[in-house]
Structure 1
Amino acid sequence: MAVLLLIVLILASCLVLRVAVETICVYWLTPRRIRQFMEKQGVRGPHPRFLVGNLFHMASLVQETTSSDMGSVHHDIVGRLLPHYVLWSKLY
């Protein structure tokens, strides 16, 4: 019985370790590697926060631009729906 419990504990700890490593790779190492690759090419941008990136900043920009009605009908709506692209392309 003790051997079975030991095997279960070892397998559970291996599973937890694997999940931890995958989480670190997905949420920290891969974005960092992509950011370094892009910076080598001259593409820069705002520094993201851990786990949420720039979602709060993008949401506030979208809310600010969509809070009022459009003055006229036109097909250039990128600045209205994706204002962070317009802002960041000017800044960076």
Structure 2
Amino acid sequence: MAMTVVLLVAVVALPLSLLLGKAIWVTTSCYYLTPARIRRILASQGVHGPPARFLVGNLRDVSALVAESTAADMSSLSHDIVGRLLPHYVLWSKMFGE
């Protein structure tokens, strides 16, 4: 009876531990290792940008800049809409270079 319980626990625990390990690896890779690798490659090419926060990156900054730029009406009709739709690109290009 005790051997059956131990075998049953082993059969259930192994797949669960493998699943948990895979989830931990994917999360770590997605949210830390890949962004760190990309930042290192870009820095080696001379491309720098604003520091990113863990898990959210620069989303808060981008959304605040977009909300600020789209809050008012456009002063004139123009095809140059980069400053209105991508204000973070314009600001960061001025700060960090193109």
Q: Does 1:14 align with 2:9?
A: no
| Aligned position for 2:37 | 33
Residues in 1 aligned to 2:24 and 2:34: alpha-carbon distance in whole angstroms: 14
| Aligned position for 2:71 | 67
| Aligned position for 2:51 | 47
Residues in 2 aligned to 1:14 and 1:7: alpha-carbon distance in whole angstroms: 12
What are the Cα deviations for residues 13-34 of structure 1, in whole angstroms up to 9, with x where unaligned? 1110111011101110000000
Q: CA RMSD in A?
A: 0.8
Q: Which has the larger radius of gyration?
A: 2
Gaps of 5+ in 2: none
TM-score by length of 1: 0.96
Amino acid corresponding to residue 85 of structure 1 in structure 2: Y
Gaps of 5+ in 1: none
Stretches of 4+ moved more than 2 A in 1? Answer: none
- Matched residue count: 92
Query: SS of 2:78's equivalent?
Result: coil
Deviation at 1:39, TM superposition (A): 0.3
